[in-house]
Amino acid sequence: MEPLFFYILAVVTIVSALFVITRKNPVISIIFLLVMLAGMAGLFVMLHAHFIAAIQVLVYAGAIIVLFLFVVMLLSGGDAKPPFFIRSPIRAIAVLLALIVLLEAFIIMSSGSDTGISATQAFNSSPRNLGNTENVAASLFTTYLLPFEIASLVLLVAMIGAIILSKGFIK
């Protein structure tokens, strides 16, 4: 059963990401981004990271998508007029460079074999409750307490910055 779930989620995620970058209407892109984030949450659950999956749905799919939709509604999509893509030669070079990155990753993954066996054993034998809320909270409030507090400062600064930037220019 597990390979079936993985392949369904992987195909949904990849196809949604491809639709995000190729649609002309920004609202359609946002909807496909939402589907991709839901697929990612499913993949996190399969990796025994239940807390991160819940946070992904709450923060990414719940708040960030809504922010995007508000901005698209306010700006009416940016009044996009054709052409929607960068000029053709640069576009071809960009796709070629990204495919080189992908090819390099394939080569690395298929050639490295010295950590292959132990990594697979460790991967398959990890505990099922590795990423439940109790364990992540225990780690977050003891070992990583300082980054946790700094993250709250980051959110405060971002909130102040967004308010000042969107009020308009101070005469």
Q: Does 162 bind another protein (CB under 8 A)?
A: yes
Contacts with another protein by CB under 8 A: the residue count is: 85
Other CB atoms within 10 A of residue 146 CB:
8
Q: Does 26 bind another protein (CB under 8 A)?
A: yes
From 111, 146, 166, 171, residue interacting with another protein (rule: CB under 8 A): 166
Determine if residue 79 is left, alpha or beta; phi over 0 gives left, psi from -120 to 50 gives alpha, anything else beta: left
* Site for another protein, residues 119 to 158, rule: CB under 8 A: 119-120, 122-124, 126-127, 130-131, 135-136, 139-140, 143-144, 147, 151, 154-155, 157-158
User: Is residue 36 classed exposed, middle or buried when 0-12, 13-18 and 19+ CB atoms within 10 A define those classes?
Assistant: buried
Least CB distance to another protein at residue 114 (A): 14
* Site for another protein, residues 88 to 107, rule: CB under 8 A: 90-91, 94-95, 97-99, 101-102, 105-106
Q: Does 28 bind another protein (CB under 8 A)?
A: no
Cβ–Cβ under 8 Å, residues 73 and 100: no
Q: Which of 124, 137, 119, 150 lies closest to 50, judged by CA?
A: 137
Q: What secondary structure, in 3-state letters, does 126-143 show?
A: CCCCCCCHHHHHHHHHHC
Q: Does 13 bind another protein (CB under 8 A)?
A: yes
Least CB distance to another protein at residue 68 (A): 7
